[in-house]
Amino acid sequence: KAGVTQTPRYLIKTRGQQVTLSCSPISGHRSVSWYQQTPGQGLQFLFEYFSETQRNKGNFPGRFSGRQFSNSRSEMNVSTLELGDSALYLCASSLQSGETQYFGPGTRLLVL
Amino acid sequence: DQQVKQNSPSLSVQEGRISILNCDYTNSMFDYFLWYKKYPAEGPTFLISISSIKDKNEDGRFTVFLNKSAKHLSLHIVPSQPGDSAVYFCAASAQRGNNNDMRFGAGTRLTVKP
């Protein structure tokens, strides 16, 4: 069974731009969560989608948004990029919400 | 708010010895704890978990201990192998079924020397 895939793997943007990241969960998994990883901060929860509905949201500004499609694939969008948005963005999927999560390789975003 | 803390950013042990990674948490509502391992350029991989109704869970060379009164958990790896070299994240959840309350520590980089 294929794992969680994320595209693109690397991305360079400039301040003020917007970016869309994509995540394809493991087949059959309905829950998709997004995390931001920065040095020294660990993994910080962004939001979780389950059956095309946002189920939970972390403490991030409204510039961070996402959605989930009927095939459980998910996208994350960040508008008006700031330098501090430079991070590794990880997507994780699970069969059901709260079950063990399986992570993708991440998208490394650099904002210049 | 760092509700989950891994105070040691790095740990180095000799192959064959025991590796002990520590994690402290502040939220007494956490009742489900996990350890993830992360290699460079890969996403975190689930390693082992423990529910608050237990104080120990063992899986092969990996054992997680939970001390609820001290709000402390630890991961023991014995014997340590060079392939165990990775960053280990501790995670805690207030309610299984609610990813919003899953908090991660900053990670501990383990190096196992041959």
**3-class DSSP state of B66:** strand
Q: In this predicted model, what pLDDT tens digit does every residue of B42-61 receive, in sequence order?
A: 889 999 999 999 999 999 99
Q: Which residues pair with A111 in a beta bridge?
A: A13
Contact B104 A58 (CB under 8 A): no
Structure confidence at residue B79 as a pLDDT band (50, 70, 90):
very high
Confidence of residue A66 (pLDDT cuts 50, 70, 90): very high
Task: Tell me whether residues A42 and B43 touch, CB distance under 8 A.
Answer: no
CA torsion through residues A87, A111, A53, A31, sign = negative
CB contacts < 8 A (A, B): 64
Residues of A in contact with B98 (CB under 8 A): 56, 97-98
Q: Output the CA–CA distances (angstroms, integers) from residue A38 to A9, A75, A89, A99, B64, in the order listed.
A: 16, 20, 9, 24, 26
